[in-house]
Amino acid sequence: MVIEQFGWLIPVFPLVAFLLIVGVTYRFKLLSAIVATFFAGLSLALSVLIMVQKVINPVTTEKFINWLSISTPTQTLLNIQLGYLMDPLAAVMSFIVTLVATLVLLYSIGYMKGDEGFSRYFAYISLFTFSMLGLVISNNYFQTFFFWELVGLCSYLLIGFWFFKPEAADASKKAFITNRWADFGFLVGIIGLFTVFGTFNFGQLATQIPQYQNALILLGLGLLVFLGPVGKSAQFPFHVWLPDAMEGPTPISALIHAATMVAAGIYLVARGYALFYSVENVMQVIAYVGGFTALFAATIALVQKDIKRILAFSTLSQLGYMMMALGVGSMTSGMFHLTTHAFFKALLFLGAGSIIHAVHNQDIFKMGGLAKKMPISSWTFVIGSLALCGIFPLAGFWSKDEILTVTLQHHFVGLFVLGTLVAFLTAFYMFRLIFIALFGQKRSDHHAHESPWTMTLPLIILAVFSIFAGLVNTPWFYQWTGFSFSTLVYFHEPEIPVIHWSIAGLSTVAALLGIFTAWMIYARRLISADMLATKMSFLHRVLSNKYYIDELYAWLFKYVMLGLGKVLDFVDHVVIDGLFDGTAGAIRATGVRLRLFQTGRLQQYALLIFVAVAILVLWGVR
Amino acid sequence: MIGLTHYLIVAAALFCIGAYGVVVKKNAIAVMMGLEFMLNAININLVAFNHFLHPNLVLGQVFAMFIVGIAAAEVALGLAIILSLYRQRHSIAVDEMDILKW
C-alpha cells in the first residue's frame, strides 16, 4: 500500500533525467546515457513493484489536487485536476513503457555511439518517456491532453533528430501536422465532454455517461474524442505519418511503435472506454476503422523493400487489430495485444536496428545471409516474427487468438474473416523479409558483424518476453496463480481466460500458410516474385505507392487547401479589409469636412454656444 | 408696482446686449465689456430672486458679491492677456486671433 502512494514518481524519474542531462551532463556524453538509463531503470523498478501490488490487490488508487478551479457560488465553471490514477490498466501500461524505454536506452548506448547529438538524444528520450508515463497515470482528460501533446512534441523532436537530413525534417513535420489535425477533434471532444458533464475526470465521467440520455450528443463526442486516437495510433486515414517516421533513429522507431506514441491512442480508447462503450455506433466505427487499417496496412507491407517500412506497416496493421478488438467490445483483448505487441515489435525494431547498424543499408534486397554473421540479432528477429505471426506458443498467438475470438463472439463475422486474412498476410510479409534479408546468399558486398552486448542484451530480454508474455492470459496460468491478464484489466466484468482451439487453429493455419507461401516464393523460388509482380502489375504499382494516399493528400493540399486559402485570402483582403478600410475612409472624409467648423475664431464658438443653449432652453420649455 | 418680472426683463435685455457684444464686437476690450454686461445681468437676477422669493435670506446677495469679485479678477486677467496680445501682434482685433486651429 505504501508503494502505491509513490506511484506518481514513475514519470518524475525520467523528467529528472531530462533536466539533469540538459542542465548538467550535456557535455559528458556517456554520463548522459548512464543518467537516462539509470532513471528509466528506477521507474521500471517502481512500476514492477506497483504492478505486483496491483496483482495482489487490484484496487484503483486515485489522488489529485485541483490545479485550476474557477467557480461561482452556485456552479463550477472550470475545474482542472492534476492527478494520479493507478489501476491495473495503468500499472500494466507503465510497466510496458518503462521496460521498453529502459531497454531502448540501453540499446541506444551502442547504437548511437559517436553521434553528434548523443546527449540530446538521451534527453529527448527521457522527456518522451516522462510524457508517456504522465499520460498513463493521468486521471482526467485535460491532463491526458496535455501529455498527449507533449508526446506529440517529443515524437516530432525525435523523428527529426537528424534534422539536417531534409527527409527527416519533412517526416517530423508531417507527423506533427497530421497529429495536429486529429488532436483538434480530440480537443473539441474533451471540451464538449466538459460542457456536457462538467468534469474531465475519468471516474466521474464513467459514472455519469451511462445515465446520460441524449445519444446523439454522445455519438458526436465519442467520434470527436476518437479522432485523437486515430491520429496518435495512426489509423486510416491519419496513418500517413507513421511510415515516414522511419527517418528517425531506429531505436526511436522501436519506442514509438511499441510503447509510446502509438500506444497512447489505444490506451486512451481503453481509458475512456465508458464513453465509447455507451454508443453502439461509435464502437462500430472503431471496429471497422481498426479492421480496415489492419487489412490496408498489411497489403502495403507485402511489397515494401525498406526493412523499417515493412515493420512500420506491420505496426499499423497490428494497431488496427487492437482498435478492432476495442471496437467489438473487448477492452481486455485489445490491451492484451498491445502488451504482447509491445514486446515483439520493440524486439523487431531493435533487431532491425542492429542489422542496419551492421549493413549500413535499409533495403532488404541488399542484405541476405545475415543469420550466420549475426546469430543473436537474426534469431531473436525470427522469434519476434513468429510471435507477431501468432505461432503457438509465442506471445502473439494468445493475443491474436483472443482478438479473433471476441470478434466472432460479438458477431462481427466480416471482421473475423478479415482478421484471419490479415494473419495470413502478416506471416507472408514477415517471412518474405526474413527469407530475403537473413537467409540465402549475400545480396550485396556487406561486412556484417554482431553488435555489442548493450545492443544484444535488450534483444535477448525482449525475445524472452515475446516468448512467454502471452502465457499470462491462459487458463493454465490462471489455475496456477489465481489471476490472469483478463481478471485484472477489464471493463465491467473480469473474465476467466479460455482458449478456443478451433479459432486458434484456424488463425495458426492461416499464418503457417503465409510462411509457407513466403518460403515457396522467396526461399525455394518455386514461384517467381518478379513474374507475379508483372502479372499483377496494376496491383503491384498501387501497393508500392501505398494506395496513392500520400499523393491524394498532396493533391488535396495543393488544390483544395490552397484553393480554399485563396478564396479566404480574397475574402480577407477584398471583403473584410474593404469593409474596414471603407469605414476608416468614410470617417476620414467626414472629418475633412467637419474640420471646417473649427475656424479658431472665438466669437463663432461663442455664437454656437449661445444658439445651442437657446435651442436647448426653448426645447425644454416646450 | 414694479415686480419680479420687470427686473427679469431688464436682466434679460442686459444679458442679450452683452451676448451680442461678445459675439459681434471686433475689439477685444469691447468683448470683455460684453462679458461684464452678462455677468451683471445675472447679478440682477440673483438679487431680484432673493428679494422676491426669500426676503429673509441673503443668499442671492452673497452670490452677487462673489460674482462681482470674480468679475474683477477676470477683468484683470483678461486685460493682461489683451495687453500681451497687443505687444505680440499690435492689434486687439478678435477676428485676427484665429491661429487656434489645426
CATH number at residue B91: 1.10.287.3510
Which of A592, A602, A609 should one mutate to test binding to chain B, selecting the residue with the greatest count of B CBs within 10 A? A602
- Chain A nearest-CA distance from B22, in A, is 7
Spatial neighbors of A136 by CB under 8 A, at least 6 apart, are: A11, A90, A93, A94, A97, A267
pLDDT at A445 over 90: no
Residue of A nearest to B100 (CA): A600
* B7 burial type by CB count under 10 A (0-12 exposed, 13-18 middle, 19+ buried): middle
DSSP percent split of chain B into helix, strand, coil, nearest 5: 80, 0, 20
pLDDT score, position B102: 58
pLDDT score, position A112:
85
- Has residue A195 got a pLDDT over 90? no
Averaged pLDDT, A515-527: 83
Contacts of A127 (CB under 8 A, 6+ apart): A14, A15, A18, A150, A154, A157
Average pLDDT, chain A: 87
- The rounded distance, in Å, linking the Cα atoms of A273 and A501 is 29
pLDDT in tens, A140-180: 899 999 999 999 999 999 998 988 888 889 889 988 988 88
> Residue with C-alpha cell 561486412?
A447
Which residues are CB-contacts of A276 (< 8 A; sequence separation ≥ 6)?
A222, A225, A226, A269, A282, A283, A286, A326
* Nearest CA-CA partner of A156 in A170, A135, A136: A170
Do the Cβ atoms of B95 and A599 come within 8 Å?
A: no
Q: Looking at the domain assignment, is residue B46 inside a domain?
A: yes
Q: Which residues of chain A approach chain B closer than 8 Å at the C-beta?
A: 595, 598-603, 606-607, 610
Question: Quick check: A603 and B94 CB within 8 A?
Answer: yes
For the segment A323-339, the average pLDDT, to the nearest whole number, is 90
Closest partner residue to B102 (CB to CB) among A598, A601, A603 is A598
Q: What pLDDT is attached to residue A206?
A: 87
The beta-carbon neighbor of B101 closest among A599, A606, A610 is A599
Percent with pLDDT over 90 in chain A: 24
Question: Is B85 part of any domain?
Answer: yes
Residues 6+ apart with CB under 8 A from A503: A401, A404, A405, A408
* A20-43: average pLDDT: 88
Cβ count within 10 A of residue A616: 10
Spell out which residues of chain B touch residue A595, defining contact as CB-CB under 8 Å. 102
Q: What is the pLDDT of residue B45?
A: 93
C-alpha distances in angstroms, A162 versus A103, A109, A247, A284?
22, 17, 8, 40
For residues A322 and A337, the answer to whether their CB atoms sit within 8 Å is yes
The cell numbers describing A412, all together, are 462481427
The answer to whether residues B70 and B60 touch, using CB atoms and an 8 Å cutoff, is: no
The residue among A598, A603, A604, A609 with the most chain B CBs within 10 A of its CB, best to mutate, is: A603
Q: How far is Cα A335 from Cα A269, in angstroms, rounded to an integer?
A: 10
How many domains are there within chain B?
1
State the DSSP H helix or E strand holding residue A61, giving kind and residue range, or none if neither.
Answer: strand A61-71
Task: Please give the DSSP secondary-structure letter assigned to residue A239.
Answer: T
Using the 8-state DSSP alphabet, how is residue A53 labeled?
A: H
Q: CB B102 to CB A595 under 8 A?
A: yes
The set of residues, in sequence order, having a beta carbon less than 8 Å from that of A59 and lying 6+ positions away, is: A87
CA-nearest of A541, A617, A455, A372 to A108 is A455
What pLDDT band is residue B20 in, cutting at 50, 70 and 90? very high
Which residue is listed with cell 512500476? A47
The beta-carbon neighbor of B94 closest among A598, A599, A602 is A602
In the predicted model, is pLDDT for residue B3 greater than 90? no
Q: Is A524 exposed, middle or buried (0-12, 13-18, 19+ CB in 10 A)?
A: exposed
pLDDT at residue A528 above 80?
Answer: no
Mean pLDDT of A254-283: 87
Instruction: Supply the pLDDT for residue A541.
Output: 83
Q: Which run of H or E residues covers position B6?
A: helix B4-24
DSSP state of B56: T
Question: A616: pLDDT confidence band, cut at 50, 70 and 90?
Answer: very high
Instruction: Decide if B94 touches A, using CB distance below 8 A.
Output: yes
Nearest C-alpha of chain A: how many angstroms from B24?
A: 7
| Residue the block writes with cell 515493412 | A310
Residue A29 CA to chain centroid, in angstroms?
A: 29
Listed in sequence order, the residues at least 6 apart from B92 whose beta carbon sits closer than 8 Å to its beta carbon are B27, B28, B29, B82, B85, B86
Percentage of chain A beyond pLDDT 70 is 100
Comparing C-alpha atoms, which of A201, A200, A261 is closest to residue A232? Answer: A261
**Binary contact (A602, B24; C-beta < 8 A):** no
Q: Does residue B82 sit at the A interface (CB-CB below 8 Å)?
A: no
Q: Would you state the cell numbers that stand for residue A477, as one nine-digit string?
A: 496460468
Residues sharing a CB contact under 8 Å with residue A284, sequence separation 6 or more, in sequence order: A327
**A480 within 8 A of A486, measured Cβ to Cβ:** no
Mean pLDDT for the stretch of residues A60-68: 84
Which residues lie closer than 8 Å to A224 by C-beta, 6 or more apart?
Answer: A185, A186, A188, A189, A192
CA–CA distances in Å: residue A540 to residues A303, A468, A532, A534, A547: 7, 37, 9, 8, 10
Burial of A16 from C-beta contacts in 10 A (0-12 / 13-18 / 19+)? middle
Whether the predicted pLDDT of A54 surpasses 80: yes
Q: Which residues of A touch B19 (CB under 8 A)?
A: 606, 610
pLDDT tens profile A363-378 = 888 887 787 888 888 8
B102 occurs within a structural domain: no
Determine, yes or no, domain membership for B101.
Answer: no
Chain B hits for A602, Cβ within 8 Å: 94, 97, 100
Interface contact flag, A595 B22, Cβ < 8 Å: no
Distances in Å between the alpha carbon of A89 and those of A50, A85, A135, A140, A489?
Answer: 12, 10, 12, 15, 5
Q: The C-alpha cell of A317 is what?
A: 496493421
Show which of residues 28-57 on chain B sit within 8 Å of chain A, judged by CB atoms: 31
Picking from B38, B1, B40, B33, the residue whose alpha carbon sits closest to that of residue B16 is: B38
Q: How many CB pairs under 8 A join A and B?
A: 29
Q: Is A140 helix (H, G, I), strand (E, B) or coil?
A: strand
Determine how many CB atoms are found less than 10 A away from the CB of residue A373: 17
- Residue-range definition of the domain harbouring residue B48: 4-96
How far is Cα B48 from Cα B60, in angstroms, rounded to an integer? 8
Q: Is A564 exposed, middle or buried (0-12, 13-18, 19+ CB in 10 A)?
A: exposed
Q: Do B98 and A598 touch (CB under 8 A)?
A: no
Determine whether the interchain pair B98/A601 forms a contact, defined as Cβ–Cβ distance below 8 Å. yes
Say whether pLDDT at A1 is over 70. Answer: no
What phi, psi does A61 have (nearest 5°)?
Answer: -105, 130
Q: Please judge whether B101 and A600 are an interchain contact, meaning their C-beta atoms are less than 8 angstroms apart.
A: yes
The type of residue at A469 is A
pLDDT over threshold 90, residue B58:
no
Return the CA Rg of chain A.
Answer: 29
Neighbours of A75 (CB within 10 A): 7
Residue among A318, A464, A470, A334 nearest A391 (CA): A470
Summary mean pLDDT of chain B: 90
Candidates A442, A325, A318, A326; CA nearest to A384 is A318
> Does A259 score more than 80 pLDDT?
no
At A276-315, the pLDDT tens digits run 888 888 899 999 999 999 998 999 888 888 888 899 999 9
Is A603 in contact with B95 (Cβ distance < 8 A)?
yes
pLDDT (0 to 100) of residue A79: 82
Residues A238-255 have a mean pLDDT of: 86
- Name the percent of chain A in helix, strand, coil, to the closest 5: 75, 5, 20
Lowest mean pLDDT of A44-53, A265-274, A480-489, name the range: A480-489
∠ at Cα A317 (A407, A493), nearest 5°? 35
* Model confidence pLDDT, tens digit, residues A575-614: 999 999 999 999 999 988 888 877 778 888 888 898 999 8
| B78 is a domain residue | yes
Query: Nearest CA to CA, how far is B55 from chain A (Å)?
Result: 27
The answer to whether A366 and A305 are in contact (CB under 8 A) is no
Residue B66 has pLDDT above 90, yes or no: yes
Taking an 8 Å cut-off on Cβ atoms, the answer to whether B19 and A610 are in contact is yes
* Best to test chain A binding among B17, B23, B42, B94 (most A CBs inside 10 Å): B23
Nearest C-alpha neighbor of A338 from the set A420, A235, A231, A263: A263
